[in-house]
Amino acid sequence: MKYSKATNYALHTIMYLTVVTPEKRIGVQQLAEKQGVSPTYLSKILTKLVKAGMIESVSGANGGYKLKPNWEAISFLDIIHAIEGSTSLFDCCLNHNPECLIQKAMVSAEEKMEQELKNQTIGDLAKKMSVIL
């Protein structure tokens, strides 16, 4: 199982916004340079995060991106769903038989993983980072 690079960039962008200060707007150019990615590519990722209600964007000379209020409650799963969607990782090849034991095992494992990702919030990670910094 592998998440896309877009999810990686989204997670790192959100964390960077928490470190810089959640209230400060940061331009896409600065965010892209920080991660070594093209501003065009990162803009597409940021658009998904804006649509998901995690960050806000402001146009113009003093514009940029910043975290929305209550950003501390954003979970890793929220970010993953904003970028990857929320479809199941496993799709049983036997006509979606609800009695398929392999399907049941995979769904159970995925639910546990999703619960762990849901429990890991940006706020919790930001607290850990402030101790390190």
pLDDT for 10: 97
pLDDT for 129: 76
Are 7 and 84 contacting, i.e. CB atoms less than 8 angstroms apart?
Answer: yes
Domains of the chain: 5-132 (1.10.10.10)
pLDDT for 131: 54
Counting as low any pLDDT under 70, the low residues of the chain are 1, 22, 95-96, 130-133
What is the rounded CA–CA span in Å between residue 46 and residue 87? 21
pLDDT for 133: 44
The 10 Å Cβ neighbour count of residue 124 is: 14
| Chain CA centroid to CA 23, Å | 19
pLDDT for 130: 64
The DSSP 8-state label assigned to residue 86 in this structure reads S
Query: For residue 44, what are its two tokens?
Result: 């597409």
pLDDT for 103: 85
Say what the pTM is: 0.87
DSSP strand pairing (64-67 vs 55-58): antiparallel
pLDDT for 74: 97
The DSSP 8-state label assigned to residue 89 in this structure reads S
Are 22 and 132 contacting, i.e. CB atoms less than 8 angstroms apart?
Answer: no
